[in-house]
Amino acid sequence: MSQRIFLDNAATTPIDPEVFEAMLPYFKDFFGNPSSIHAHGRKVKAALETARKTVAGILNTSPGEIFFTSGGTEADNTAIQQSIDSLGVKHIVTSKLEHHAVLHTAEHLAKAGKVKLTLLTNKADGSLDLNELEDILKENPNTLVSLMHGNNEIGNLLDLNKVGELCRANGAFFHSDTVQTMGHYNFDLQALPVDFIVGSAHKFHGPKGVGFLYINANSKINPLIHGGAQERNMRGGTENIYGIIGLAKALELASKGIESHKNHIMGLKRLMIDQLKEKIEGITFNGQSAQVENSLYTVLNVSFPPHPDNEMLLFNMDIEGISCSGGSACSSGTNLGSHVLNSLGGLDPERANVRFSFSKFTTEEEILKTVNALAGIFATKEA
């Protein structure tokens, strides 16, 4: 059987072989607990802090502002929930397009009566009205704005500087879920007006189950998880050392190759758009994902024309040896459809919507094979 094609990199990415090699010694030889004061522990503690310095250096911030977590969801929850207790936040502004790690957290807190919740209006292409945000901030003190940098389903990008400046001008705090963009864009946290951002290693060719939270030194919060003095008293629990080593190595590799990887992936995205338009009648694209220069370059969300096999499209692609997604992988197994696509409004229920997402390991041959497989399912133009 030929090798499968993986076009679901927004859900997870394959681990980079160099990352795996960097992690191996911490599975086998350097197994000490970093909280232990003996030699075994000190060796691992040193590696932990070196990893923290690596991440901080790449993001141009202080190691004291980087806290390792179990992933993006925990990091998002910590920033949002603890801003209420520690920073006096009484109002959260977010959108219906957010990942559930943010949206469900904000809804839970509002339902519990801890905060007022406002959802920004989005247009049919998923873009947000920042004039509306400014008006809301002027009328509501003690606000946390939580808006993602790059949408994991439709590829829309947010102007972090503009939103951050609006927040600063109106005394609001700004948290951004940067899980999809970390490792794919450069971040200068000395210049960027944000209070909290997050990363998850498995989105940039690192291991699963490890991430980090950046907390601006001027926006200190209390821990979400209690139990020990780890992470400078910010997160109880023995650190996932091999995961943290892998995260730092993966971010280091991603940052070094960021421009070449971006150019490679953008070329693949353009190729797929052109080939789909050429070979399948009635193709459209959701959100701003087809705006190659102005969207998250790793994501393309395609709307296919009505067809008798649309309900089986993902299954048929899987049979063809191609892995892709109908929405966010975190919601797989449900029949509710994508909350992001539903929020755009006016989508034809007879059309099939598929997210294709790419990585530095994706090839032109894989794109062409995928389009040809799709062309075999839908009515096609003559070549």
* 329: CATH: 3.90.1150.10
Rg (CA), the chain: 21
Same domain, 161 and 288: no
User: d(Cα 179, Cα 307) in Å, to the nearest integer?
Assistant: 34
Same domain, 180 and 223: yes
DSSP at 9? T
Mean pLDDT of 122-140: 96
Q: What are phi and psi of 214, to 5 degrees?
A: -90, 125
User: d(Cα 208, Cα 247) in Å, to the nearest integer?
Assistant: 9
How confident is residue 336, by pLDDT bands cut at 50, 70 and 90? Answer: low
User: d(Cα 120, Cα 173) in Å, to the nearest integer?
Assistant: 16
Does any domain span residue 352?
yes
Same domain, 166 and 314: no
Same domain, 109 and 226: yes
Same domain, 165 and 64: yes
Number of domains in the chain: 2
Lowest-confidence range among 264-273, 303-312, 374-383? Answer: 374-383
User: d(Cα 146, Cα 163) in Å, to the nearest integer?
Assistant: 10
Taking alpha carbons only, the member of 11, 378, 382 closest to residue 180 is 11
DSSP 284-322: EE-TTTT-GGGB-TTEEEEEEPP-TTGGGHHHHHHHTTE
Q: Which of 87, 117, 329, 330 is catalytic?
A: 330
Does any domain span residue 91?
yes
What strands lie across the sheet with 116-120, from one edge to the other?
Answer: 66-69, 211-215, 196-200, 173-176, 143-146, 91-95, 116-120
Same domain, 283 and 207: no
Domain that holds residue 185: 17-256
Span 6-46, pLDDT tens digits: 999 999 999 999 999 999 999 999 999 999 999 999 999 99
Domain boundary among the residues 256, 277, 300 is at 256
Same domain, 32 and 152: yes
Same domain, 362 and 263: yes
Specify whether 330 is catalytic: yes
pTM of the predicted model as reported, rounded to 2 decimal places: 0.95
Mean pLDDT (the chain) is 95
* 85: CATH: 3.40.640.10
Does any domain span residue 89?
yes
What is the SS3 assignment for 108?
helix
Q: What share of the chain in percent tops pLDDT 70? A: 96
Span 183-193, pLDDT tens digits: 999 999 999 99
Q: What is the pLDDT of residue 330?
A: 54
* Residues whose CB is less than 8 angstroms from the CB of residue 116 and which lie 6 or more positions away in sequence, other chains included: 90, 91, 92, 110, 140
Q: What is the pLDDT of residue 37?
A: 96
How confident is residue 372, by pLDDT bands cut at 50, 70 and 90? Answer: very high
Same domain, 43 and 118: yes
Q: Which tokens is 1 given?
A: 């059987």
How confident is residue 216, by pLDDT bands cut at 50, 70 and 90? Answer: very high
Question: At residue 2, does pLDDT exceed 70?
Answer: no
Domain boundary among the residues 233, 256, 279 is at 256
Same domain, 243 and 117: yes
User: d(Cα 108, Cα 31) in Å, to the nearest integer?
Assistant: 39
